[in-house]
Amino acid sequence: MTTLKGQIKKDLTGMRFGRLTVLPIHITEKRSTKWLCRCDCGNEKYIYRGTLLAGKVNSCGCLRKEKSKQTLEGNKLSVTHGKSYSRTYRIWMGMKQRCFNPKRHEYPRYGGRGITVCERWLSFDNFLADMGEAPGSLTIDRIDNDGNYEPNNCRWVTRTEQFASRTHTSTEKHKQACRENQKKATEARRKKN
C-alpha cells in the first residue's frame, strides 16, 4: 500500500463500491482520506473514504451519464443541439425567463405586460434555425417594443441600438405608471389617517 501522507484508519484496498475498485493509493488531507479508485469503465478518480463507505458514490460519473441518457431516450429527448453552454442558448433562456418566470426581476416589463415567446421558439432548435448564432456581442431586440418574441419581430443589435429602440412612449408610460402608483399610495395614506 502506498501512502502519500499521514496514517489511515482502515485499508480499503481491493474493496468494491458499485463500479469502483479501490486501488492501494490514497492521500490524506487534513483529517480526510481520499482513495484512488478505478471504475469499470477505466477512469480513475480520488474519492473520499467517508463517501465510499456511506455508499454515496458508485462510479466515476459514468453511471449518472448512462442513466441520464436512458431517461432522455425513454422520453424521446436524446437528440440535443450541443449548444447548452453557448451564448445564443443563454440569450434564448433569458428571453423565456423574462416572459414566463414571475420571480425574475425583469418579468413585470415582459411577461407581466403580456409579452410572450411564440410557440415555435419554445424549442431552442427552432429559435436557432430562425435567428442563427448570436453574432459577436449583439443582443436580441424586439423591433416592436410591445410585440412578442417571434421571427418577424426580432433581430440582433448592439446594446446601443437596443437602448435607442426603446420608445419615448414606453418611457413615458413607465413614468405615468409611477406617478399613478405614487398617487394611489398617497391616497391610501390619507384614508388611513
Residue pLDDT tens, the chain, 193 long: 444 454 456 789 999 999 999 999 888 888 888 999 999 999 999 999 888 988 889 899 888 888 776 665 555 544 456 677 789 999 999 999 999 999 999 999 999 999 999 999 999 999 999 999 999 899 999 999 999 999 999 999 998 888 877 655 455 666 666 667 677 767 766 776 6
Report the C-alpha gap between 71 and 49 in whole angstroms.
30
**Helix, coil or strand: residue 35:** strand
Supply the pTM of this predicted model.
Answer: 0.48
**Helix, coil or strand: residue 63:** helix
Neighbours of 57 (CB within 10 A): 19
